[in-house]
């Protein structure tokens, strides 16, 4: 048994199909009826014209001067009754010269129409006194040298009866046709929607624990196959997002647990015995150091969360790329002196950038700090600023050991560290390069990394170049307008 629900798409499609078909059929019937009625009238007028031509040859004036119509041309006397014409002959001044028995005392129009019957045949509809609707055809003709106006009329009732019969024959099967079309449309739509039902049932089975499953793709389904491929692409992205979220949650929990465990162990050891004030200062200092790492991690997590949620808005300004480099290098001078590292800055041109000063400074600062962490004591860090077409490139090169080739693709992942133990000792939490990539890409740029043949690696930041040559004061103007609610932690992470 067919289950019909007016909310189902197949029901609505079948109803729409029937409605459109009904409209088309009604319009077709109306058009067919219009042309049928027109053709029937043309045939009646043509028959009346032929009849006038016949009547013209049968009219004559009697010796008494009366106009007569010969009827001896009929082969049979009963043939005279077959002709249902209404015949009236008038003089040019409107006088009645002849009326046949069928017309009797009725008139086909006491007033002559201007130009009636002149130069050909005049056709019009006319209503007789007894409300009989006739098709009237008139023509001027000379009978025995006397000008006359011959009028021949035929009742339109048989014509309308024939028209109604034809129209009824067209309309009678319409309900049956529409019912059959509705059932057929419903069945065809149900058959066409079966692939969608299969996809929906499969999609219902996919949950957060089964994101590895995919919808079946049948090439013969056409557009539905494309829809299944699109859903599968969405499922791939969702699976990656869930996996990234699980990994992020796991890594964040691990990173938070490490400093908390260290603080707890330091505190418990410090409370076991009575110690000197100097010892307690060392304990409190160690706990404050871990607290600083924990605060740094929480700030970085907050920045990442707000970036993912789209809550960090860019505050664009125009500034020189060299100013950005100078600002970042000035913030790490003390750290580089402690490591006895050498800094080399090369700027080919004074190029200008259009972007958020705070975010781009944070990105470059994270990259520079990463280079400091992985450059040995006495090593060299090089920063080069150059232009290429409509973009500005900032390259940061260190003289460390480089990145293992199989791990280069993971450098910008969250909580990733090339050297786990060493990164913890230097205070990194594995979020700095991830934040740097987000900051650069949010400005329409890109950040890449590659190993140098001589050792170490190079991080390349590529940003769109600004068309305006703004002065150096743009940096200070931007700094004065930094907003605390969107500024990420300025310390390297």
- pLDDT tens, position by position, 420-456: 444 444 445 577 788 888 888 888 899 999 998 888 8
Q: Which CATH number fits domain 10-168: 3.40.50, 2.170.15, 3.30.450, 3.40.190?
A: 3.30.450
Is 91 a residue whose pLDDT tops 70? yes
| Range of 220-229, 381-390, 459-468 with top mean pLDDT | 381-390
Q: Span 313-480: which CATH code?
A: 3.30.565.10
> First and final CA of the chain: distance in angstroms?
67
Show the tokens assigned to 184: 């057929």
Interval 331-374: pLDDT, tens: 888 888 888 899 898 886 677 888 888 888 888 988 998 899 88
Is 78 a residue whose pLDDT tops 90? no
| pLDDT the model gives residue 89 | 92
For range 276-300, the mean pLDDT: 76
pLDDT class of 481 with cuts at 50, 70, 90: very low
Domain 219-307 has CATH 1.10.287.130: yes
pLDDT class of 284 with cuts at 50, 70, 90: confident
Is 86 a residue whose pLDDT tops 60? yes
Show the tokens assigned to 91: 């003089």
For range 98-120, the mean pLDDT: 87
For range 80-108, the mean pLDDT: 82
For range 406-433, the mean pLDDT: 66
CB 146 within 8 A of CB 61: yes
For range 94-100, the mean pLDDT: 89
CB 433 within 8 A of CB 365: no
pLDDT class of 472 with cuts at 50, 70, 90: very low
CA separation for the pair 165, 40 (Å, rounded):
13
| pLDDT the model gives residue 225 | 80
CA separation for the pair 152, 134 (Å, rounded):
9
pLDDT class of 479 with cuts at 50, 70, 90: very low
CB 29 within 8 A of CB 205: no
Is 76 a residue whose pLDDT tops 80? no
pTM for the complete prediction? 0.47
Give residue limits of the domains in the chain.
10-168, 219-307, 313-480
CB 342 within 8 A of CB 381: yes
| Arithmetic mean of pLDDT over the chain | 79
DSSP, collapsed to helix, strand or coil, labels residue 367 as helix
Q: 3-state DSSP: the chain helix, strand, coil percent, rounded to 5? A: 50, 20, 30
For range 47-52, the mean pLDDT: 90
pLDDT class of 24 with cuts at 50, 70, 90: very high
| pLDDT the model gives residue 419 | 56
Show the tokens assigned to 263: 């603080």
Is 468 a residue whose pLDDT tops 50? no
| pLDDT the model gives residue 417 | 63
Q: What are phi and psi of 99, to 5 degrees?
A: -140, 135
For range 485-490, the mean pLDDT: 37
Place of tokens 């319009």: 27
For range 471-488, the mean pLDDT: 35
Q: What angle do CA 368, 251, 332 make, to 5 degrees?
A: 15
Could you tell me which residue, 326 or 239, shows the higher pLDDT? Answer: 326
Is 471 a residue whose pLDDT tops 60? no
CB 251 within 8 A of CB 279: no
| pLDDT the model gives residue 351 | 78
**Percentage of the chain exceeding pLDDT 90:** 16
For range 117-141, the mean pLDDT: 88
Is 477 a residue whose pLDDT tops 50? no
pLDDT class of 493 with cuts at 50, 70, 90: very low
| pLDDT the model gives residue 152 | 92
| Range of 112-116, 266-270, 473-477 with top mean pLDDT | 112-116
């Amino acid at each position: 048994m067919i289950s019909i629900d007016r909310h189902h798409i197949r029901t609505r499609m079948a109803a729409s199909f029937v409605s459109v078909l009904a409209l088309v059929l009604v319009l077709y019937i109306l058009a067919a009826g219009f042309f049928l009625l027109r053709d029937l009238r043309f045939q009646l007028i043509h028959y009346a014209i032929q009849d006038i031509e016949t009547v013209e040859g049968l009219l004559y004036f009697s010796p008494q001067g009366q106009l007569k119509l010969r009827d001896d041309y009929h082969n049979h006397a009963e043939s005279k009754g077959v002709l249902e014409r209404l015949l009236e002959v008038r003089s040019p001044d409107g006088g009645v010269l002849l009326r046949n028995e069928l017309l009797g005392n009725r008139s086909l129009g006491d007033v002559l129409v201007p130009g009636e019957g002149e130069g050909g045949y005049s056709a019009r509809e006319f209503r007789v006194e007894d409300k009989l609707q006739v098709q009237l055809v008139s023509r001027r003709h000379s009978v025995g040298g006397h000008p006359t106006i011959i009028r021949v009329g035929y009742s339109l009732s048989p014509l309308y009866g024939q028209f109604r019969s034809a129209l009824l024959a067209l309309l009678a099967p319409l309900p049956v046709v529409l019912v059959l079309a509705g059932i057929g449309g419903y069945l065809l739509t149900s058959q066409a929607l079966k692939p969608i039902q299969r996809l929906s049932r499969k999609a219902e089975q996919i949950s957060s624990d089964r994101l590895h499953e995919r919808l079946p793709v049948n090439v013969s389904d056409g557009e539905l196959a494309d829809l299944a491929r699109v859903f599968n692409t969405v499922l791939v992205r969702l699976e990656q997002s869930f996996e990234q979220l699980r990994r992020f949650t796991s890594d964040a929990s691990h990173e938070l647990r490490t400093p908390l465990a260290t603080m707890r162990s330091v505190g418990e050891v410090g409370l076991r015995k009575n110690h000197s004030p100097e010892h307690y200062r060392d304990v409190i200092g160690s706990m404050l150091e871990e607290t600083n790492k924990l605060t740094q991690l929480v700030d970085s997590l907050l920045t990442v969360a707000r970036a993912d949620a789209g809550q960090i808005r860019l505050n664009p300004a125009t500034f020189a790329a060299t100013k950005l480099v100078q600002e970042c290098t000035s913030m790490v001078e003390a750290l580089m002196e402690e490591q006895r590292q050498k800094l080399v800055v090369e700027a080919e041109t004074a190029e200008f950038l259009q972007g958020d000063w705070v975010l781009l400074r944070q990105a470059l600062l994270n990259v520079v700090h990463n280079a400091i962490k992985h450059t040995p004591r006495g090593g060299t860090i090089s920063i080069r600023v150059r232009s290429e077409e409509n973009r500005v490139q900032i390259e940061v090169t260190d003289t460390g050991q480089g990145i293992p080739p199989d791990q280069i693709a993971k450098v910008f992942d969250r909580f990733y560290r090339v050297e786990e133990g060493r990164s913890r000792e230097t205070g990194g939490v594995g979020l700095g390069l991830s934040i740097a990539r987000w900051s650069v890409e949010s400005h329409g740029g890109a950040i890449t990394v590659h190993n140098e043949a001589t050792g170490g690696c190079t991080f390349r930041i590529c940003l769109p170049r600004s068309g305006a040559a703004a002065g150096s004061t743009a940096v200070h103007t931007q700094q004065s307008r930094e907003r605390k609610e969107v500024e990420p932690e300025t310390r390297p992470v």
